[in-house]
Structure 1
Amino acid sequence: MDGPAGSAPPPLVLYVGGLGRSGSTLLERLLGELPGCTPLGELVHMWRRALIDDEPCGCGDAFSACPFWTKVGELAFGGWHRLDADAVLDLKDEVDRTRRLPGLLRARPPAARAARLRAYTDLYRRLYLAAAEVSGADLLIDSSKHASLAACLRLDPGIRLRVLHVVRDPRAAAHAWGKSVRRPDARPSSPEQFMARRSPAATALHWCVQNLAFECLAASGRLPVPVLRIRYEDFAAAPADTLARVAAWVGYRGQPDLFEGKSRDSACLSSTHTVSGNPLRFTAGRVDVRPDAEWRHRLDPGDRVTVSALTFALRRYYGYGR
């Protein structure tokens, strides 16, 4: 990875952003197989799902029993018991929301929230530093996806941030968000037994907001963030090429070669310590990367028209025509 010889800079954080259900978890898992890389999952959800609900880590252990996260908590905060999760959630609700994006995308945050923003990003900076020390990695992958969190993190000079912006055809996203998928990591007492669902119209609007926010991050003047955009469809069609492109962009020295066979679309995943996210985070062993175009014959024609109309301009900008 990048970094001057003889120094120990903060770890580079690759933030995977975009609307969920766009193949980001699989991409994170594949990148996490590169030497020196450690995937952390969706840290934005850890405050409730890990600290309060004690949902399992990607390794299968409950969060409170996972040796990796126990060490991270000790290094970052002197132990997780010293962190008030409810207070963190209140802080998150105050500064890290989609409706706060107009203020967060400015070069300087609103003065009324500057102190609270610093307190919020300080939590992530401590987490990243501790996770890097425990894992020995110099590249951490945070697949939180939310544009609002990326906008918050970019304001902290102690966080070396790069954003991988993942885009998927909004009609495919609408189909994926309409599915009912049970969360295998949810505790019986958790109100979130199923992954969140959205209507096609709500998905289309959210798709526009999230992707436009990442475009603004890339175009930011005084506080620019390096942003690399990839399309899910390109990744699914040529996973080895996409992985090599991303690896080179973050400064990986070497030739990533995780794929097997002539088709170059099959790889082996090892167990990881990821918190929250798509059920794929529990997968270990061989995984095949295949394009998912189920929406083409499953999405209701009326919903397809609605999504196509609401996303027309941005959809065409990303190359999604008829």
Structure 2
Amino acid sequence: MVRVLFLGGLGRSGTTLLERLLGELPGVCPLGEVVHLWERDVAGDERCACGAHFSACDFWQAVGEKAFGGWQHVDVWRVLALRHAVERTRHIPRLASVRMSASHRLLVEEYADWYARLYEAAAVVSGAEVLVDSSKHAALAYCLRFAPSIDLRVVHVVRDSRGVAYSWTKKVQRPETDGAEEMTRYSPSRSALLWNAHNMALSVLDRCGVPVMRVRYESLLDSPEQVLSEIAGFSGLPAPGMDFLRGGTAQLGPCHSAAGNPMRFTVGPVPLRRDDAWRTALPGRQRRVVSALTAPLLGMYGYRGAR
């Protein structure tokens, strides 16, 4: 079986940073947001985190050859059609149900198999014990549990909803498109509703038999060595060395993250400090709206006293 550490949560919660830090641990290979690989990379030939376009990246070409006999044999439109049919947030109740119809289960299993084949090939090419997929989508995590060859373990990454809401309002260029496109933006109320949906879905995933570990973004930044050690143990890895962490800074090397936040292109020293700009930059009215909409889960995750 191939061991996959799936980072789940709503975007702008620190999953890319966590993926990059995990990628520095021995025996770990970060793959990026694999959910977007089919359209953006296989079809769109966007740039890998190594800087090369997907079609020119030796790592991903080796993975494609091992998994499918070459990416030209991947029916991208079939994968995307399956995604639309089974991997949507509104489908989670059906994915979690023991009464799923046989026809729908076949679609879910076919969709999960595309990922299983990719993961298995990536494990062989990289030689890693653990692969990290930072796709985040809760519905994808529910789908992946239907692939018998995947040893799925989920790290549920949570960040204060007000910080997430503020981050979604900012303009961020997508380097892989040479600045021609911006990342999606949401209003604070929209991001609050998405924050609720994604986090609630991940909070109950363990009821389906999937091991889930919850990590707060704030805890990661406050105690990176401790959190990374706990995740390594959860992943079945021996206690790792942390030589890349020194004095509140992480030294990041190159990787082959296929899609995700622009931080995946960063190489070199990265300061490990919280981004709490939302406390002053998010207008008071918007902050109160987000707080009200997300209050139950904020309290459950220990953010009740935040202002």
8 Å Cα contact 1:40/1:275 also seen in 2: yes
Distance 1:204 1:21 in 2: 12
Moved over 4 A (4+): none
Equivalences for residues 135-284 of structure 1 within 5 A: 135-186=126-177, 193-218=181-206, 220=207, 223-261=208-246, 263=247, 265-284=248-267
Deviation by residue 1:109-160 (Cα, 9 ceiling, x = unmatched):
3333111111101100000000000000110000000000000001222210
- 1:303 equivalent to 2:286? Answer yes
Q: Relative to structure 1, is the Cα distance of residues 73 and 146 closer, same or farther in structure 2, using a 3 angstrom cutoff?
A: same
Question: What's the RMSD between the two structures over aligned residues?
Answer: 1.3
- 1:119 equivalent to 2:104? Answer no
Distance 1:195 1:280 in 2: 13
Question: Which letter maps to 1:236?
Answer: L
1:260 positional shift = 4.0
8 Å Cα contact 1:11/1:137 also seen in 2: no
Quote the residue 1:4 is aligned against: none
Aligned pairs, how many?
305
Question: Which letter maps to 2:198?
Answer: Q
For residue 46 of structure 1, the aligned residue among 32, 37, 58 is: 37
1:186 positional shift = 1.8
Quote the residue 1:31 is aligned against: 22
8 Å Cα contact 2:229/2:239 also seen in 1: no
Question: Which letter maps to 2:266?
Answer: T
Distance 2:100 2:218 in 1: 35
Quote the residue 1:294 is aligned against: 277
Which secondary structure does the structure 2 equivalent of 1:311 belong to?
Answer: helix
Deviation by residue 1:16-49 (Cα, 9 ceiling, x = unmatched):
0001101110111111111111000000001111
For residue 14 of structure 1, the aligned residue among 5, 8, 17 is: 5
Identity rate, percent: 49
Distance 1:299 1:255 in 2: 38
TM-score (ref. length: structure 2):
0.96
Question: Which letter maps to 2:214?
Answer: R
Which secondary structure does the structure 2 equivalent of 1:162 belong to?
Answer: strand
Which secondary structure does the structure 2 equivalent of 1:267 belong to?
Answer: strand
More helix by share: 2
TM-score (ref. length: structure 1):
0.92
Which secondary structure does the structure 1 equivalent of 2:176 belong to?
Answer: coil
Question: Which letter maps to 1:173?
Answer: V
Unaligned runs of 5+ in 2: none
8 Å Cα contact 2:24/2:244 also seen in 1: no
Quote the residue 2:78 is aligned against: 87
1:302 positional shift = 0.7
1:183 positional shift = 0.5
